[in-house]
Chains A and B, each alone.
Chain A
């Protein structure tokens, strides 16, 4: 997927002017937040479970190499195949190779951000394999030729009337006079169209929410059941997962599941949590005959031991973006790559380089709401700040900001000079702004006064007045 993160500012402006998008973003602000608040409040142990979920993942990350080896051994013992991919390109090649071995024409796909990350769909199409997204939201954006704008609600930027237009455009075999007014009719139509695809597909590709070392199991969490049909009906099931998805045991995964859905959609549990281990057994009447796991690194191993290691705890619930005022304002596409919102602002620089995505960790007010709701207690603002530090030390900070900051810091480190200069400046500004109490324009403050008045200073600084008061006393 093409990265447009360097154009974040322009992307954001476009998004702010996009009326249908702004209408759709209203749904994020309303639904997700209330539902999460209700679900977390209903479970007294919620914060304790968050602590434990964090501890489990910290333990995993400190032993990740060993758990991966244990996991791979179990997958193979269950008759599955494990493929290790250092880069996105390696992963694509491995998956294509499997498709070729199986003479695959069509693959169905469960929702998977990792396959977005490696740009799998475009690649498969280039090589004459047709990928069919089966998650309703993913299906909608595939029809639209778009990418997800949210990691759990990929089509959250699309309105119902747009879905209707897309279905009419693509489902040309259906009666043009059919009624698609209601969301239920849209859902039924997608269900019927995709049902056939599950049976046609040669391979089913899913992601994984977790990989369990104890048993060699991959876990997917869905509400629709599309992932299950994807992985049960075709003859081959391919799991694509990044290396940090490991959890030690079934008990550990149960702990994290308790905070996942509550944080994501406000459900106590998602409808389907499915544990897959190896291919079908000889006596099984259904299930895939072949089971492959592609383990993707793609830059994650170098996050270990760095100030960004905590980001590898992320379980992709989307709570951070659901609670982010910047995400609410511009939506997911403005971030310019696969992962939007606060988690994307930390992860994208890690995976794609901060030179390409420097805006992302800067475009935050540090309001801290993301960290306050993160089920894995990832200190997202702190890590965005770490990216700013890396940019600053590598001279990637824009020159104007750097000089401004430098001049300010020069005074801020010299209190006497600072007070002399500010006394003078405030006296002038105070006099100029006295009649109205504010300025509607101000040299060098265009970023402020474009949209806001600048309240005028009262005049004399506090320090100056305090010094007088002390002398008088």
Chain B
């Protein structure tokens, strides 16, 4: 469809009264893509780390996520186990290959079954490790890949997400900077999910209901910076 492409671009340029080889405009576009300038950031999230974590928790809870904080990575399996029990769920979770999750002492949890890989339709609970969190709105950021397959975020009834306190930023822009550092400027993994609370719908008479197609519950385990 290369002729459609040229036709559309030509129509746009003629409507704008511009030429394709417009040096000044090209430079402006290249510059913006290169610099990716930041706009104004809400002061709300620009806090010292400890207050940032508290804000993240407050904002996530305000959108019906549940949040617990643990002292170290080693405490995560206990927290997951406690959550499953509190919801009367079987002691089974699925997770990806994330090294931080793998290092956690899951074997200390008696009867806990750990399934690996992408989610299956029947999975009730999954565990993911977030790339980061954003305090200003209690938003989690997760990236696709074998470490944390994207289906884990959407298929189960209960999605449990582990988030390191050190990875909580004040704003989205800071997390993008981290993603650029990790994947390269202008490069993205297949999927980046920003998740703010559990799935919901208000499509029936504008009444808010949780658990539309994605998880009915989102549980966040924050690992405090030791």
Contacts and interface: CB of A to CB of B under 8 A. Distances in A.
B33 A232 contact: no
B188 interface: yes
B138 to A, nearest CB: 8
B155 interface: yes
A78 B192 CA distance: 14
24 contacts: A31-B202, A44-B43, A45-B42, A64-B12, A64-B16, A70-B29, A153-B206, A160-B205, A163-B204, A194-B213, A213-B29, A214-B33, A215-B188, A223-B199, A228-B150, A228-B214, A229-B214, A250-B36, A250-B179, A255-B40, A275-B193, A278-B190, A301-B8, A301-B12
B196 A271 contact: yes
Nearest to A277: B188
Interface in A254-288: 254-255, 257-258, 265, 267-281, 283-287
Contacts, number: 273
Given A65-B16, A90-B4, A283-B146, A276 B200 contact: no
A12 interface: no
Contact of A285 (B36, B96, B194): B96
Given A199-B121, A215-B186, A275 B191 contact: yes
| Interface pairs A-B: 6 shortest CB-CB | A225-B214, A224-B212, A137-B203, A249-B36, A277-B188, A273-B194
Contacts of B213: 134, 191, 194-195, 224-226, 229
B105 interface: no
Interface in B10-24: 11-13, 15-18, 20
A51 to B, nearest CB: 9
Interface stretch (B69-77, B84-92, B107-115, B170-178): B170-178
Given A48-B40, A250-B36, A269-B137, 4 more contacts: A187-B201, A191-B212, A250-B176, A277-B191
A223 B201 contact: yes
Interface string B124-161: 00000000000011010000111001110111000000
A272 B195 contact: yes
Nearest to A225: B214
Contact of B39 (A243, A255, A297): A255
Given A232-B151, A249-B33, A271-B199, A31 B206 contact: yes
Contacts of B194: 269, 272-275
Interface of A: 24, 27-28, 30-32, 43-45, 48-49, 52, 56, 59, 62-70, 72, 74, 78, 83-86, 90, 94, 134-137, 140, 153-156, 159-160, 163, 183-184, 186-188, 190-191, 194-195, 199, 213-217, 223-226, 228-229, 232-233, 243, 248-252, 254-255, 257-258, 265, 267-281, 283-287, 295, 297, 301-306
Of B28, B176, B215, most A-chain CB atoms within 10 Å = B176
B173 A251 contact: yes
Contacts of B16: 62, 64-65, 304-305
A251 to B, nearest CB: 5
Contact of B63 (A267, A275, A297, A301): A267
Contact of B15 (A159, A213, A248, A304): A304
A84 B1 contact: yes
A232 B7 contact: no
A143 B128 CA distance: 36
Contacts of A70: 29, 33
